[in-house]
Every structure is written in C-alpha cells, then in structure tokens.
Chains A and B, each alone.
Chain A
Amino acid sequence: MVKKTYAEINARIKAGEAVVVTAEEVTPMVRERGLEETAATVDVVTTGTFGPMCSSGAFFNLGHSKPRMKMSHVYMNNVEAYTGIAAVDAYLGATQIPDTDAANKTFPGEFNYGGGHVIEELVAGKEVVLEATAHGTDCYPRRKLDKVVRLEDLPQAFLFNPRNAYQNYNVGVNLSDRTLYTYMGILKPNLGNANYSSAGQLSPLFNDPYYRTIGMGTRIFLGGGEGYVTWHGTQHAPGAPRAHNGTPIMPAGTLAVIGDLKGMSSKWLRGVSFLGYGVSMMVGIGIPIPILDEEMLKYTSVSDEELFAPVMDYSESYPQGLGEVLGQVSYAQLKSGEISVNGKLVTAAPLSSYFKARQIAEILKDKIKKGAFLLTEPVFTLQSFMNNDA
C-alpha cells in the first residue's frame, strides 16, 4: 500500500525530485505498470480545462477620487458593474452586456462585447473607460466621475468566479425543425449537430470524482496566474448519478474560485460571444492532484472511454426543465467528432478547447517540477456524498 502526505509530496517538489505527469499521460502508465508501482513513482497528476464559464467575474476597488464618492452606478467600457457594496468597490460579471446592446431585438443578436471582454482587455493591459455616478452624500460628495483606467492603476482587482470547472456537462442537440441559438452554441435543426463542453479525461473534477483532495484552499492555475478554491460552486450537486468508476454521468460538482487578476493573462481569460444568447468568458483552470495512495491514482487514470455525458434536447427538454436525457455518450465518442443519437449519426463539436486544456496541464506540470508551485492541503474538502456516508 502506497501512502503519501501533502508534506512529503511538497518536500519532493522543493527538492526538485517530484514526479509529475498530466492526467493524459498517467493513463497509459497505469495500464503498463499497474496501480501500485505507478502510485509509488508518481507524486502529482495535473489537470486542465479551458472553456466558457458564465459564472465568472471580478471584484474591483476602483480607488478613491478627490472629493470622495459612493459610486451607485459604475460602467467599464459601457458594461455595468454591480455597486451594492462599499463606496468604490464593484463586481463586474462576465455575462453583463452594455445597456445599449440591442440584445435579441434583431434575432439572433450578435453580443459582440460584454463583461468577459472587459476583463480580458484589463488583463491584457489595455485602457478601460470608467464612468461612475452617485447621488452624493455628506461624506461622499462627488456625483460624477469619468476616467480611463488600467488594471495596474486599480488598488485591488481579483477574479471571483462562483461556478467554474463543472464536473461533466450536457451535450446539446436540437430535435426541432428550427435553428437554436443557445449557450451551447448554434444547434442546427433535426439533430444537425451536437455540442459539448468538457475536457473529459483532463478535466479537474473528473480526476478526483469525490473531491478527496479538492476543497477550500486548494491552490490552482487560474486564468494564467495562481488562484484558490474557496468553496463548492453554485449548483454543486455531488449527489448526481455516477458510473462504477465514481465519475458522474450528469453535471455534478462545481468550484468557486478566487485569484489576483493582476497575475493573470488574456491568453487564459477570454471574452466570448454566443450568437443569439449573450456573452461569457473562457476561463483556464488547472488543478494538481496529489497521489496520496493507489485510490487517488486510480481516479486520475480514468480515460475518455470511461467518462459519459448526457445528451439533452435544447428545443424542449432543457428549456422546459423536463430533464429527459436522450442517452449517454462517452467523451471518446464525442472527441471522435461523431456520436449516435436516436439512431442517427450526428457531428459533434466542442465549445471548450481540449488543446488549451492540455497546455494548462503541461504548464502546471512544469511549474511543479521546477518547484515553483507547491500543493496545499484543503482546510476542508468539498461537500461529497462519499465523505458524508463514510
């Protein structure tokens, strides 16, 4: 039986001796050498995902002006940020669009710009127009502010995403006879295509299905910088049905994550537009999984053939909340570019980038190997029915 502690793994990382592989590389290793031998060798398995994650955004402290101001409406490049907090604090959400955007008045709307794009431009070092208005008070007399800001000018800016890194997600299809414009992309009529959005075998929560090593304080790769898991994310559903290997076959766990925006890069935070739906932000996340024992290794060695996603009809079942699933398909089938739904062969396309997910897992691997990224033991792990039962 192999047993390792976080401290032992970190000591090996500091000494430059840690054996780190990606969640893609570990699968053939386990197949060839078996669980015990591989668990004795491998210390850390890195994961990665890069996809549209709507529940994302950033908190800003915009700095006090003279005279001071309690901002009640804040716009950054015409996109409104929430100000129901302290005087010059605001939260800019990734899916917010300018008030002037025609949205879906001419259908399908283009949604060329929004909160996600503002965040991308800020981390790229670009200037952003800040407009603020206020009612004015004795302590905060100023009523209007117009200026140009850069990320470096802002006293604090941190990404705080309430729901990221979904553990599994729906495959969207369209059974109706008209084109659908959804957050799952364009779905052509009569099963014209199938869109999915997960890195499968590289995806963080698929590699630790019961969240044995992920929880509050887990240090992660976030948007090109460093971040932390702060909580289970919104809609976290650990009770979702699972396969024999423990991985959920429906959307299940989610993460709330935080990190300093100033260390991030526009390569890993990208504003995106979904025709007829709205804007979002693609977020890059990578989580290192410590190989504490054979069980953790077994979880990380899962491959696309053993991971299944539910196929959902976005013309009826999803919008009406009926929950009817048309079937399960493996990520290996999805990645082949063709799946079978209701007996028909359907072209499958991803919305998340597997190529970038792999890059993230590689970057994280290199950082850990160089001793530039240490693992943290969570203060407590995410809510999991396996933990609760135990």
Chain B
Amino acid sequence: MLKQKFVLYFPAAVTEEPFTYYLIKDYNLMVNIIRADINPRKEGRAVVELSGEKEDFQEGLEFLQSRGVKVFPLEQEIVWVEERCTQCGACTAICPSGALVMERPQMTVKFLNDRCVACEYCIKACPSRAMEVRF
C-alpha cells in the first residue's frame, strides 16, 4: 500500500473531466481531496492524497499525465524559508493542521512538512513572507 499527497494542475481544456471517478474505478485508488480550486474552462489545481497498491498507483499517475494533468509530489509545494523566518510565531495560530508549531520553552518555530495540508493560509498570514508555494 502506498500513500502520498500530490498537487495536480489541470489545463483549462480538461477541468471538466471526472478524473476522481476514473482513478477510483479504473485504478482502485483511494482519493482524498484535501483542497481543490477547479473552475469550468479555466486552469485548476487540487491537492489530493492517493492511496493504493504500487502498480495501480503508478498507472493512475501515468493516466493523469497522459491526459495533460501535471502531477507534483506535495513536498515541493509549501516551503519554509528559514532565513526569512523571524521565529515570531504568528503562523502558529493560523495553521489548521499543526504543521507550524512553537517549540516551548525555546520559543522557536518549526515547520513539520508531513503535517502540512497545503491550505496556504500561512502564505499571506506570515508577516515576513517566509512561507512560499513552490512549483
């Protein structure tokens, strides 16, 4: 069983295709949609967690790519630019998943990548712009 989060970019031409349905029906994958921003006839993106058997996983991803969907592992997405971070802690009340946490009593902020659900709330909530979306 494999389980991994991906960011999917849909070109405008394909945003109306029912990809989730195909992934579930044809590739036996479990699809957990974490976030989606898809509008008819416009470019869209979604953050999904896929789980399934290794072969199905591979084939499912290949299928998406063959239809023009760009697939990136989620790790590439939200980055913490440590040099810009002032360790203020403002993000810790905003992050809904506990990915940005204050370590006490040192009062330093830590970014726990694997807890991040890519909601992007921190991107604009961080006064120092230390959180970035990278593609």
Contacts and interface: CB of A to CB of B under 8 A. Distances in A.
A282 B102 contact: no
Given A337-B104, A349-B92, A355-B106, A50 B125 contact: no
B89 A350 contact: yes
Contact of B128 (A188, A192, A272): A272
Interface residues of B, number: 20
B107 A355 contact: yes
A122 interface: no
B19 to A, nearest CB: 31
B109 to A, nearest CB: 8
A354 B90 contact: no
Interface string A334-371: 01110000000001111111111010000000000000
Nearest to B84: A270
B71 to A, nearest CB: 29
Nearest to A276: B124
Interface in B75-91: 86-91
A270 B104 CA distance: 24
B125 A185 contact: yes
Nearest to A355: B87
B125 A275 contact: yes
Given A186-B94, A195-B93, A353 B88 contact: yes
Interface string B51-88: 00000000000000000000000000000000000111
A351 B125 contact: no
Contacts of A231: none
Nearest to A272: B127
B93 A348 contact: yes
Contacts of B93: 185-186, 188, 192-195, 347-349
Given A185-B125, A195-B93, A350 B88 contact: yes
Report the interface size class on chain A: 20 to 34
Contacts of A274: 127
A273 B129 contact: yes
B32 interface: no
B4 interface: no
Secondary structure at the B interface, as helix, strand, loop or mixed, is loop
B124 A353 contact: no
A185 B107 contact: no
A374 B131 CA distance: 39
A349 B89 contact: yes
A192 B125 CA distance: 15
Specify which of B87, B93, B102, B128 lies most central, judged by the most chain A CB atoms within 10 Å of its CB. B93
A238 interface: no
A386 B80 CA distance: 47
B108 interface: yes
A204 interface: no
Given A349-B89, A350-B88, A353-B86, A185 B104 contact: no
B125 A337 contact: no
Nearest to A108: B124
B90 A351 contact: yes
Nearest to A187: B93
Nearest to A120: B128
Contacts of B88: 51, 282, 350-353
A348 B102 CA distance: 11
Given A337-B102, A349-B102, A185 B127 contact: yes
Nearest to A354: B107
A99 B94 CA distance: 30
B23 to A, nearest CB: 34
Contacts of A270: 86, 128
Specify which of B90, B92, B102, B105 lies most central, judged by the most chain A CB atoms within 10 Å of its CB. B90
Interface in B82-135: 86-94, 102, 104-108, 124-125, 127-129
A353 B125 contact: no
Nearest to A50: B86
A282 B86 contact: yes
Interface in A295-338: 335-337
Contact of B108 (A50, A52, A280, A355): A355
The 9 closest A-B pairs by CB, nearest first: A349-B93, A272-B127, A193-B93, A355-B87, A354-B107, A350-B89, A353-B88, A353-B86, A353-B87
28 contacts: A50-B86, A51-B88, A52-B127, A185-B125, A185-B127, A192-B93, A193-B94, A270-B128, A272-B128, A273-B129, A274-B127, A275-B124, A282-B86, A282-B127, A335-B107, A349-B89, A349-B93, A349-B102, A350-B89, A351-B88, A351-B90, A351-B127, A352-B88, A353-B89, A353-B107, A355-B87, A355-B108, A356-B86
Interface of A: 50-52, 108, 110, 112, 185-186, 188, 192-195, 270, 272-275, 280, 282, 335-337, 347-356, 358
Given A335-B104, A337-B104, A349-B102, 12 more contacts: A52-B127, A110-B124, A185-B125, A270-B128, A275-B124, A335-B105, A349-B91, A350-B88, A353-B87, A353-B107, A354-B87, A355-B108
